[in-house]
Amino acid sequence: MDVIYLNGPSGSGKTSLARALQDTLPNYYLHIGIDTFINMMPTKANCWDGTGPAEGFSWRSVDLPEGKKGMRVQSGEYGASVNDAFHACVLALLQSGQKLIIDDVADGKREVDRWLEELQPYSVFSVGLQCSIASLEHRERIRGDRVIGSSVEQYYRVHSGVNYDLIIDTDKHSAQQGAKIIATKIHN
């Protein structure tokens, strides 16, 4: 398998699962996600305090089902170009012979379809990570490095219209268990 594509809300366990996969799978896989690129961006490009749009990425308040408020990431022109660079880098790494675990928070079917189209020359195993809203809210609070309300907003959006090769519920499976399930599926 060339690519293991993980998609789920922030706090659903993608990074933990990616690390467990790296330890479990017999081949070497690089772990890459948009956070890698956001961490390379100049701080001044992004506005993470919710006070307004930015050239990079920023938060905006949105209404969620059941009258709740959430925070949704929005992209400025520079942020869109960084996201394009993320995609280009993934393709360059694959072209150089690297195997990848992509860690994503996609905007539903539209973004997942973009990935699948770009990755057509490669073997891809797609995994949706899900858990309860209560778990996402709890994980946001204890991590302390996430904007409250962002993972719940993503909960309603990331899997919309998407079909996966496998769905893992991280309320029921640890990262190590999930990695073993994926390893079994991709080697059968």
Residues within the annotated binding site for ATP? 8-15
Residues 125 and 166 sit within 8 Å (Cβ to Cβ): yes
* Beta carbons within 10 angstroms of residue 116's beta carbon: 16
| CA nearest to 129, candidates 3, 10, 12, 2 | 12
| Backbone phi and psi for residue 16, each to the nearest 5 degrees, phi listed first | -65, -40
| Closest C-alpha among 134, 116, 117 to residue 125 | 116
CA distances from 90 to 6, 20, 32, 95, 119 (A): 14, 20, 8, 9, 9
**Catalytic annotation on 171?**
no
Q: Please tell me the distance from the alpha carbon of residue 125 to that of residue 131, in angstroms, as a whole number.
A: 20
Of 2, 35, 107, 165, catalytic? 35
Annotated binding-site residue numbers = 8-15
Buried b / exposed e along 62-84 (16+ C-beta atoms within 10 A): eebeeeeebbbbebbebbeebbe
> Which residues are known to be catalytic?
35
